[in-house]
């Protein structure tokens, strides 16, 4: 049985210039990719769903690369990421949980080999972003009807506690998921909130390189 049957792919890229305050010198660019596919386990309880997790690995990698291409940026520009899943009504939440490993792995594959954390830590301005994707990829999932919106969380790729980068992007595919479908989502952004000003850890203040701070 072929576990992967993709029906639709929807990419979104948005440039945020301001939100009522000063225009951003570098407007954050946020992107999402949503893949709509058949849920091979819809309509029944299937005890062993792990084969689907393996089958999703190349899908995730392809999605991450497609999203980066749509955002038209080098991977070093990506500062935050997140992932999510929407399960059609004939499926169960656990089917959405299949996305945790392949979705997270995909973006780390894209970002993880880039950058030089040691140089970044030294403050070497030519080192670029220490894009090692050290932090957990935040996620959310739900069971929902066609057109259901999912608020996909975003956090910094190297330190989950970077307060300026706590964000979420609403992702929604009109008409999907049908009851026997799954929507798997990846989101990435080049920056935090456009007018971030509530203090806390900043990207420049990352010091422990443990994925948290």
For other proteins, the binding residues (CB under 8 A) are: 5-20, 70, 147, 149, 169-170, 172-174
| CB of 128 closer than 8 Å to CB of 115 | yes
The angle at the Cα of 96, spanning 99 to 36, to the nearest 5 degrees, equals 85
Shortest distance, position 41 Cβ to other proteins, whole Å: 17
- Nearer CB in complex with other proteins: 6/93: 6
- Nearer CB in complex with other proteins: 170/210: 170
Q: How many CA atoms lie within 13 A of 127 on its CB side?
A: 16
- Nearer CB in complex with other proteins: 15/54: 15
Pairwise CA distance, residues 213 & 200, whole Å: 11
Q: How many CA atoms lie within 13 A of 120 on its CB side?
A: 18
Q: Using CB atoms within 10 A of its CB, is residue 24 exposed (0-12), middle (13-18) or buried (19+)?
A: middle
Strand partners for 86: 142, 183
The angle at the Cα of 183, spanning 111 to 172, to the nearest 5 degrees, equals 90
Block residue for tokens 């989502």: 185
CA dihedral (104, 66, 92, 174) positive or negative: positive
The separation between the first and the last C-alpha atoms of the chain, rounded to the nearest angstrom, is 44
- Nearer CB in complex with other proteins: 30/108: 30
Shortest distance, position 12 Cβ to other proteins, whole Å: 5
- Nearer CB in complex with other proteins: 5/124: 5
Shortest distance, position 66 Cβ to other proteins, whole Å: 10
Shortest distance, position 161 Cβ to other proteins, whole Å: 25
- Nearer CB in complex with other proteins: 13/97: 13
Shortest distance, position 23 Cβ to other proteins, whole Å: 9
Shortest distance, position 147 Cβ to other proteins, whole Å: 8
């Amino acid at each position: 049985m072929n576990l992967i049957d993709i029906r639709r792919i929807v990419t979104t890229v948005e440039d945020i210039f301001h939100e009522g305050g000063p225009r951003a010198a570098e407007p954050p660019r946020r992107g999402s990719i949503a893949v709509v596919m058949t849920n091979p386990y819809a309509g029944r309880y299937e005890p062993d769903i792990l084969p689907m997790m393996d089958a999703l690995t190349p899908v995730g990698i392809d999605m991450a690369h497609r999203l980066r291409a749509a955002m038209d940026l080098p991977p070093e520009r990506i500062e935050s990421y997140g992932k999510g899943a929407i399960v059609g009504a004939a499926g169960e939440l656990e089917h959405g949980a299949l996305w945790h490993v392949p979705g997270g792995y995909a973006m780390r594959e894209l970002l993880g080999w880039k950058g030089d954390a040691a140089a970044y830590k030294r403050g070497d301005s030519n080192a670029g972003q220490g894009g090692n994707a050290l932090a957990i990829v935040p996620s959310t999932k739900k069971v929902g009807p066609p057109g259901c919106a999912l608020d996909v969380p975003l956090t910094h790729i190297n330190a989950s506690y970077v307060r300026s980068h706590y964000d979420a992007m609403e992702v929604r595919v009109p008409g999907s998921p049908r009851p026997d479908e799954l929507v798997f989502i990846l989101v990435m952004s080049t920056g935090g909130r456009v007018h971030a000003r509530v203090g806390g850890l900043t990207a420049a203040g990352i010091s422990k390189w443990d994925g948290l701070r």
